[in-house]
Homo-oligomer: A and B are copies of this chain.
């Protein structure tokens, strides 16, 4: 509550007059112009290459990566983040997974009529803070407003451009038998943080989302000359679905060691209560890197030297069987790990 009151005070749109978003804020007239001129441009920065609706960018030469994601997470705010910071981290991470240096983002807002203006302001500020920390610039945007009951507060699309400065082919079909799987941290915190808010679950300590921009960590690996065969962030569908996609695309097998995969106790406990498997829970700051054995130790060292890789670990390796993922469990059994089937956690991102 306190937070929301603060944002009312600093909101650049007169809150007494416009406490909530109106359809006219997306109508192309004076109110939309006010929203752009007073809230978006001063916050994201008046990008000097903007001509009409498009940003004009001078990119360094090289290959470009382009990625898009819409964010519909519910609730909008959760321990460790909000829809605004996530919309930046998620797209930055997708660029990082292509081995690209993230440079620019676009931001497309779909607002529901009646959204609190202070909430919008809080989210917009969170986006900008996340963008600054991740070293990207939000250079163009769009605002639409839908009638009450036809949206859910706010949906955000971010599309990102990054530059690919290396010559490696980072993709599932570059994965080789023998490759080592490195994971940058513990699993399941994002999904469980969201579910805890939705279900009103309480833990000894609050479980915070792992939402974070991992691009600088990936770029450190590349800059150090680590050979990287594939990168994958562990969002919707979690580790299990990501590995299944890669195993299937590479037509190889992947085996992982349960006891090597870090899951904090509260997440493990929540999974048991909710009937989830941490292997399928979404993360927003976790990724797996496939590297050849020769580079595994050095890569691990670099990861552990980065704030987002302190707990980095080897979790498995690639074999020659076709398209399957298996896990060697704590109790010594080996089981097949399938792709997520059905819907485990809707609107997690």
Q: Chain A interface (Cβ within 8 Å of chain B)? A: 22-24, 26-33, 51-59, 61, 63-72, 74, 94-95, 97-100, 104, 106-110, 139-142, 144-147, 149-152, 155, 157, 159-162, 164, 169-172, 230-233, 235-238, 241, 245, 282, 339-347, 349
Contacts and interface: CB of A to CB of B under 8 A. Distances in A.
Given A68-B108, A106-B159, A150-B151, A98 B56 contact: yes
Contacts of A94: 52-54
A343 to B, nearest CB: 4
Given A30-B339, A171-B52, A72 B346 contact: no
Task: Sort A-B residue pairs by CB-CB distance and give the 5 closest, nearest first.
Answer: A28-B236, A28-B237, A29-B340, A159-B159, A68-B106
In terms of DSSP, what is the predominant structure of the interface of chain A?
Answer: mixed
A326 B249 CA distance: 62
Chain B CB count within 10 A is highest, among A142, A241, A349, for A142
A78 to B, nearest CB: 17
Contacts of A30: 339-342
A341 B22 CA distance: 12
Given A51-B171, A52-B232, A159 B343 contact: no
Contacts of A104: 66
